[in-house]
Amino acid sequence: GPVSPSGGLPTRAALRVQPGFASSPRSVRILCSPSQAGAGTCPAPSRIGTGTAVATGTVAGLFSQQDTISFTLFLGSPLRRGDIASVVVSGTDSLLHQSAHATGRLFKPTGGGLELLFDPLPKFSPPAGAAITLDRLSLSVHAVRTLTTGNGRHRRHRRYSLITNPASCPGSWVSTATLSFTSGAPLTRSLAVPCHRR
């Protein structure tokens, strides 16, 4: 997984997937409202995933301890006109006993595809003099909802997915993840996921 090059937790994260992917805000029953997002109280039906960040904290160069931050992600109302939706991330730090949340944008960037942008990420405050290094970061998101209209023999089913794959498969689908830190150069990783032709 990505490791912070200059120490510290990331302050900004962007994930961009190739053209052909699509997303629907109707993949959840209810969207987290801006007021709920601001208070960190998104409703359970808007939940779309979880994540974990594992970091090592070193105090005065004498001893180190592993720290785990657990995240929950929710789908929310768009932040900007033209966005697909927002994504609210709420995190809890098990070692520092801190909680924080932030809201990111889910949108179609110029050139197509999808982009998930958190600027900023949830902010946690380590003890004075502690050096934090990010060891691993993982996220898992998924949401599918089927709506039924009509009745009897004339019922229609429509499926909405948080993420819909491209119709064609060239062998792998490509995405790019970028993490930015308070100081030092951003860390960028290209990710290729094997896909299968139908």
How far apart (Å, rounded) are the C-alpha atoms in residues 165 and 103? 24
How far apart (Å, rounded) are the C-alpha atoms in residues 141 and 85? 14
With contact defined as beta carbons under 8 Å apart, do 140 and 50 qualify?
yes
| Token pair 């491209």 in the structure block, residue | 166
- Name the nearest CA neighbour of 47 among 65, 64, 63, 27: 27
Dihedral-angle region of residue 129 (phi above 0 means left; psi in -120 to 50 means alpha; beta otherwise): left
User: Residue 131: what pLDDT?
Assistant: 83
| Token pair 């801006």 in the structure block, residue | 34
User: Residue 2: what pLDDT?
Assistant: 46
DSSP state letters, 137-161: EEEEE--EEEEEES-GGG-EEEEEE
The share of the chain scoring above pLDDT 90, in percent, equals 67
User: Residue 1: what pLDDT?
Assistant: 46
Dihedral-angle region of residue 185 (phi above 0 means left; psi in -120 to 50 means alpha; beta otherwise): beta
How far apart (Å, rounded) are the C-alpha atoms in residues 33 and 46? 10
User: Residue 23: what pLDDT?
Assistant: 97
Residue 159, both tokens = 């499926």
- Name the nearest CA neighbour of 89 among 107, 66, 115, 116: 116
User: Residue 57: what pLDDT?
Assistant: 85
Secondary structure of residue 36 in the 3-state scheme = helix
With contact defined as beta carbons under 8 Å apart, do 140 and 152 qualify?
no
Residues 72-128: pLDDT tens digits?
999 999 999 999 999 999 999 988 899 999 999 999 999 999 999 999 999 998 888
With contact defined as beta carbons under 8 Å apart, do 181 and 8 qualify?
yes
With contact defined as beta carbons under 8 Å apart, do 55 and 66 qualify?
yes
Strands 114-118 and 130-141: unpaired
Distance spanning both ends of the chain, measured CA to CA: 30
Q: Could you list the pLDDT tens digit for every one of the 198 residues in the chain?
A: 445 555 678 999 999 999 999 999 999 999 999 999 999 999 999 999 999 999 988 887 677 889 999 999 999 999 999 999 999 999 999 888 999 999 999 999 999 999 999 999 999 988 888 888 889 989 899 999 999 888 878 888 899 999 999 999 989 999 999 999 888 889 999 999 999 865
User: Residue 196: what pLDDT?
Assistant: 80
